[in-house]
Amino acid sequence: MRLWIKTPIAVLADNAGAGIVVEDGIITELMPSGREPMLPVDQTFDASRHVIIPGLVNTHHHFYQTLTRAHPDAINKELFPWLKALYPVWAKAVTPDTFRLATRLALTELMMSGCTTASDHHYLYPGGLEDAMDIQAEEAERVGLRMTITRGSMNLSQKDGGLPPDSVVQDEDTILSDCERVISRYHDKSRGSNLQVALAPCSPFSVTQNLMKETAALAKKHDCRLHTHLGETFDEDAFCIETFGCRPVDYLEECGWLNERTWLAHGIHFNDDEVKRLGHACVGVCHCPTSNMVLASGQCRTKELEAAGSPVGLGVDGSASNDNSNLMEGVRHALMINRLTYDAESITHFDAFRWATEGSAKCLGRDDIGAIQIGKMADLAFYTLDELRFSGTGDPLAALVLCGAHSADRVMIGGKWTVEDGRPTTIDVAQLRAEHDAAARQFLESF
C-alpha cells in the first residue's frame, strides 16, 4: 500500500511541500512543491488543512501518577517534600487495576497530543504489582504507541536512609531477576520495533550503589539502555555528598553509567566540568520543562549539554508534577523556559521541536524514528490551524509552538492512523475518563 499524504500547509522536513509517500509503514518519498510521486500510489490523503511534524517522542514519564494529579497534600511543594507527601498515597492507590487504567490514560493522552513513542519510568512496586511491565506492554499495544518499557526499581527505603516507604521497594535479587525476564520477553532491537526495554533504578536517594552497578552490567550484557533521575535538585546534590562522598555525576561514573547507553531525567544542576564529561561520554539528558517549573527545581543547561555532545530529549515527567501528559504543551514550555535561560534569538521553535523528536529518539537509542526522512518509520503528527488561537498565523510551524497547539487532529504510527479527527481509533475516551476518574477519586477520598 502506497499512500500519498498530499500538499500539507507546512511540514517539518526539507523539500516536502508537495507531501510524503508512505509505504509499508516507512517514509519512501518526500516531494518538493509542484511535484508528484515517482511511482503510482494506492491512496491519497488530502493534508491541505494540516501542519505535519515528526511524531513526538516522550523520554521520561511516570504513568501511575495520573491517579494523583493536583493532590491537595502535594501541591505547592518542592521535590523532596512532594515525594514524602505522595509516597504513602501511591503505596495504597497503585494496584494492578488502577495501574492499568493509569497507563492507558497516559498513553492515550500522550498520543492525542501528537506523541508516537513513549518511555515510562516505572519504579514503584507495592505488593501485587509484580507484573507492571506486562501491563504496560499490553496497554501500549492496545493504544497503538511505540514504547520503551523502562523497568525501574527502588531498594533503598526509609529504614535504610532512603526516601520511599518500605512497602513500595523490592530486594536486589527480585529486581535483577525481573529485569532479565522483561528483557527476554519484550526487548526487540529490530528496526521499527514497537517495544524495547531500558533498565532504570530510580534515583541516588532510592537505590543502593550495588544495584546501580549490577544494573549497568545487565544492560551491557543485553544491549539495552540505562535511565535514572540525576541532577534534579540541590537536595539531591547534598544527599550524594553526604551519603556517597561525591557529587551525582561522580557517583554515576563510579557506578559504571557514564557512557552512551545512558540517558538521564532532568539534568539541571551540573557544573561546567560535569557538562563536558557527560557530553564526552555521549550521555543523553531528558529535559522536563513543565515539571521543573511546577516543582521549582531549576533550569536545564540544554545548549551547553548539546554543544558538549549530549543528546537532549524532552519529557513531560510525572502526571503529578506536570500535571498532564501533553508533550506538545511541553514543546512550548521548553521554548519559553529556555528563552528565559538564554535569550529570544538563540532558542527557536526548531530547537524545541528537535528536542522532542530527534533528540528524544537519540536518548532512546533509536535511529529509525524522530524525523521525517526517507527510510524512517512513518510516525507523524498532524495539526490543524482552525482554532481561534491560530487566526492571523504567519509561520505555520512556529504557530504550533507560539500559539499553543495542544491536540493533534491526526496521528500516524508506522503508517497506521491511530488518531482521526482528534479521537483515538482504539480507545473510547469517555469510558476511559469515567473509569480512571472513579479509580482516582476512590483513593483521593480515603486520605
Instruction: List, for residues 66-85, the tens digit of each pLDDT value.
Output: 999 998 888 999 888 888 88
Statement: 2-54+370-424 belongs to CATH 2.30.40.10: yes
**pLDDT of amino acid 445:** 63
3 state SS for 78-108: CHHHHHHHHHHHHHHHCCHHHHHHHHHHHHH
**pLDDT of amino acid 322:** 87
Alpha-carbon distance of 111 to 58, in angstroms, equals 10
Q: Which three cell numbers stand for residue 229?
A: 533521575
Averaged pLDDT for residues 211-224 = 97
Alpha-carbon distances, residue 387 vs 49, 63, 264, 400 (angstroms): 12, 29, 36, 11
Averaged pLDDT for residues 126-147 = 97
pLDDT at 447 over 80: no
What is the percent of the chain with per-residue pLDDT over 90, rounded to a whole number?
87
73 touches 53 (CB < 8 A): no
What is the percent of the chain with per-residue pLDDT over 70, rounded to a whole number?
99
pLDDT in tens, 337-392: 999 999 999 999 999 999 999 999 999 999 999 999 999 999 999 999 999 999 99
pLDDT at 444 over 80: no
Q: For the sheet containing 43-46, what is the strand order?
A: 26-31, 19-23, 2-6, 43-46
**pLDDT of amino acid 125:** 95
Contacts of 320 (CB under 8 A, 6+ apart): 62, 65, 66, 68, 69, 70, 71, 74, 86
Question: Judging by DSSP bridges, how do beta strands 115-122 and 56-58 pair with one another?
Answer: parallel
Sign of CA dihedral 266, 271, 275, 281: negative
pLDDT in tens, 80-128: 888 888 888 888 889 999 999 999 999 999 999 999 999 999 999 999 9
pLDDT in tens, 386-423: 999 999 999 999 999 999 999 999 999 999 999 999 99
Residue ranges per domain, the chain?
2-54+370-424, 56-363
Measured CA angle at 366 (ends 259, 51), to 5 deg:
130
CATH number for 56-363: choose from 3.20.20.140, 3.60.21.70, 3.40.30.10, 1.10.1670.10. 3.20.20.140
**pLDDT of amino acid 10:** 98
Q: For the sheet containing 423-424, what is the strand order?
A: 10-11, 50-54, 380-384, 410-413, 416-420, 423-424
